Structure 1
């Protein structure tokens, strides 16, 4: 099956916070002032982002730090946003997404579902992934169809991953390799491959990535990826990313996917657009709020 056909059948949702090192020049040579300067310098060193192409794991950590830092994200506790997943032909899924970071709870209410979620229906559909269990309801009635549950299970986890990618790209079982630099649209990027150990992820097949990291911002501006779940085993799918800073977090609010044709040529316009709006952190969600 052609890559484009596979994608149309079922691709399922897929500034650097510059830490100022301003040093104050002070004429006060008292012991108290000296101690303050030493302490300040030590704290600055602890916050400094290490980015070493000879140690690609440091680049992965730098991405998370540049995106706002895992601790800062964790302290925000949860998030809600409107997610629009739209194909080039105009068909789309629109959902209200809610996640709790502690426990990776994922909930979504679809008011429009023309692509991946019950395409034939027009009623509101709710998906909930809580305590590693998936549940789905439509118009308040729970659905037990295995195919629908399987699709929902995938969506709940992949939507969460895409939103959290810059923080989760270094999850356990990850292997990295530095591929050198490449210039795209006049900007030079550091290229990093990311793959996963099946024994640690618990999955027989895993996605793979080639990240294009902006060495100035330490953010991923674009990446190539595979999708083994849909028969795409090579890293030929292209995703371009734009960020919006919200509550100190660099959120990938705009993602654009490009699918190559049989000749390996990419279209000028995106094959898919994934847009996140009305992003709100720290809403006070509790696990019981995600029950169906």
Structure 2
């Protein structure tokens, strides 16, 4: 087990101890108090992921923003697209999406579609009316936490119950990468997702990663996701994404990309929890 020690300064203030007259004060500087926090890394891969998260903005920093809104656009190679306004409250992972266009997600439903998770219950509406269709609700139970997870993925790579494996180095298009495999502890031997991160040695950011989708049985042939970042309110957000089928060697084929774009990203919108209730 590898150890890393981070020293955090918790107090360094001037304290007033007496007043000699109405215009002057005698002050005494107290010594700086320091607290040492030790982080236990499983291996070098774990430390690389930690450094990545610190660079893009950790979950504590994210939660300090309370909530986020943005426009989500998902376009498939045949030109079909979903366009939704996404809203999340980080405390409790509340999630809401209003789809003005849903040619890919539940296209059989007509009109404006709303999906929500209020911390306890999933729900779906079209044109303001609740729908109790079991298949539609199952899709909501997948898309609400999935959309939330993609937005917070890097921060959540430090969640408990994750395993890290450093796979070595690789050069791709004249760029050098550290490769880290991240997997989830399995419950009842149920298949779980795998992420294989390609961390740019120069920038410390993930330029691309391989991933599986266990919920849909996509395990043998991973998908390759490539990223572009933008800076928003102190965070580095991978707001432009594209992905397609690949191999575990991250080979890029001539197959067309699926495109994902996050735009108009705004934090700390003073969202109310009532907005997520059906």
| TM-score, structure 2 as length reference | 0.81
Decide which structure has greater helix share. 1
For 1:277, the equivalent position in structure 2 comes to 263
Deviation, 1:120, is 2.2
Deviation, 1:269, is 6.3
Q: Secondary structure at the match of 1:284?
A: coil
| TM-score, structure 1 as length reference | 0.77
1:134-283 matches, cutoff 5 A:
134-199=122-187, 204-234=190-220, 236-260=222-246, 266-268=252-254, 270-283=256-269
Separation (CA, whole Å) in 1 of partners of 2:237 and 2:156: 13
Q: Secondary structure at the match of 1:238?
A: strand
1:132 pairs with 2:87:
no
Unmatched 5+ residue regions in structure 2?
1-28
Deviations 1:141-187 (A, max 9, x none): 10111110000110001001111011011212100100011111111
Separation (CA, whole Å) in 2 of partners of 1:124 and 1:268: 35
Deviation, 1:132, is 3.2
Count matched residues: 246
Contact 1:225 1:237 in 2 (8 A): yes
Question: If you compute each CA radius of gyration, which structure gives the higher value, 1 or 2?
Answer: 2
1:81-96 matches, cutoff 5 A:
81-96=70-85
1:68 pairs with 2:77:
no
Contact 2:221 2:246 in 1 (8 A): no
Q: Secondary structure at the match of 1:289?
A: helix
Decide which structure has greater strand share. 2
Distance 1:267 1:88, change over 3 A: farther
Contact 2:73 2:261 in 1 (8 A): yes
Larger mean CA deviation between 251-260 and 267-276 belongs to 267-276
Distance 1:104 1:58, change over 3 A: same
Distance 1:103 1:120, change over 3 A: same
Deviations 1:249-282 (A, max 9, x none): 1111111002249xx9643464201100000000
Deviation, 1:94, is 0.6
Unmatched 5+ residue regions in structure 1?
1-34
Contact 2:43 2:164 in 1 (8 A): no
- Larger relative contact order (CA 8 Å, sep ≥ 6): 1
For 2:90, the equivalent position in structure 1 comes to 101
Contact 2:111 2:127 in 1 (8 A): yes
